[in-house]
Copies of this chain bind each other. A is one copy, B any other.
Amino acid sequence: MKEHDMEITLTTTKKEKPKSDQLEFGKVFTDHMFIMDYTEGSGWHDPRIVPYQSITLEPSAMIFHYGQSVFEGMKAYYTDDKDMVLFRPEKNFQRLNKSNDRLCIPEVDIDFALAALKKLIVIDKEWIPDAEGTSLYIRPFIISTEPYLGVSPSSRYKFIIIMSPVGSYYKEGIHPVKIAVEKEFVRAVVGGTGTAKTGGNYASSLKAQKVSEENGYSQVLWLDGVEKKYIEEVGSMNVFFKIDGEVVTPALNGSILDGVTRSSIIEMLEHWNIPVSQRKISMEEVYQAHQEGKLEEAFGTGTAAVISPIGEFFWNDEKLILNEGKTGELSTKLYNTITRIQTGKEEDQLGWITHVEEKVTQE
């Protein structure tokens, strides 16, 4: 399948765009979407860009019953000289295929998906906001559509990309959040789907999130599902700790998501010659480090927030206050560096930036 096989239908009625300072996350979508279908025997077919529109499915479509779905999240930015760029999009599509494998969904052609995404971005480029901290959030997703109630992999799927202009994650600047260590609920366990970006992981996380919010916390810190000792993720982000000068993040153990921001931060720290290790880390170790005054910073990482500094942990009826509840030096430096690379303000020394138009005109 080549990009030139793609049928493009442009909208005749462009929607009004929200103002840059009124952007919310994931509520308003651009004028167009990408869609292609999979049918057993024919593979992926009929790739097309069409006006943003609703989807019609049988009530027996498998997605409504057995949750066979995967998704990705990434962002497009305008650089200061009006160049459209993506941040490591190939890593997202690679992970999409890993999620596909875990969920028994047929893999997609990464080069084709990226070319289709670039085409879509070019068509809707007026939707990329350019105010400080804004971006165009991109949501590729695959849903199972076969109208059949048998529990088995679907024989039909839809791969769709929708895009939403989003504001800065931090409306009043980057600020630390309070986190409750989760003791009852479990996000994932080795042998489950924790490494895949599939709907079920997010559905199962809602209850713990709701309880923690009722108790005045923003997110939960997930512990492992076997011993309830080792740290896995925070909310829907990966998590890092700076302890006595060393940065530690849980190793990819089979139940943690392999975050694109996570691996970018590890690479950046290595580039800076700051000690960083991926290993098992228990909540007890974090607690001890805090007691000894060695827990310098902690932060979550993900596409939406980039860096989310943690100001407090609640564990075993004790509050652990970090860095006097203020954003740490390393968190700030990482946030600034990565967002400056994403928007072309700082040199892309690690080769993370993909130009949207260069590639399109090459073909």
Contacts and interface: CB of A to CB of B under 8 A. Distances in A.
Interface in A135-183: 137, 139, 141, 143, 147-153, 160, 162, 164
A345 interface: no
A102 B198 CA distance: 18
A141 to B, nearest CB: 6
A60 interface: yes
Nearest to A65: B71
Interface of A: 25-27, 29, 33, 52-61, 63-69, 71, 102-104, 137, 139, 141, 143, 147-153, 160, 162, 164, 184-186, 188-193, 198-207, 209-210, 225-226, 235-236
B57 A199 contact: no
B151 A65 contact: no
A54 B58 contact: yes
A26 B139 contact: no
Given A54-B57, A162-B59, A189-B192, A150 B225 contact: no
30 contacts: A26-B149, A26-B150, A52-B59, A55-B59, A55-B64, A59-B160, A59-B162, A63-B199, A64-B141, A65-B71, A67-B198, A67-B201, A68-B203, A102-B207, A103-B203, A104-B210, A139-B149, A151-B236, A184-B191, A186-B191, A190-B225, A191-B225, A193-B203, A198-B204, A199-B199, A200-B200, A200-B201, A200-B203, A225-B225, A225-B226
Contacts of A53: 59
A98 to B, nearest CB: 12
B203 A66 contact: yes
A203 B56 contact: no
A199 to B, nearest CB: 3
A225 B192 CA distance: 8
Most buried by B among A71, A164, A200: A200
A200 B204 CA distance: 8
A321 B140 CA distance: 47
A134 to B, nearest CB: 16
Contacts of A69: 64-65, 67, 203
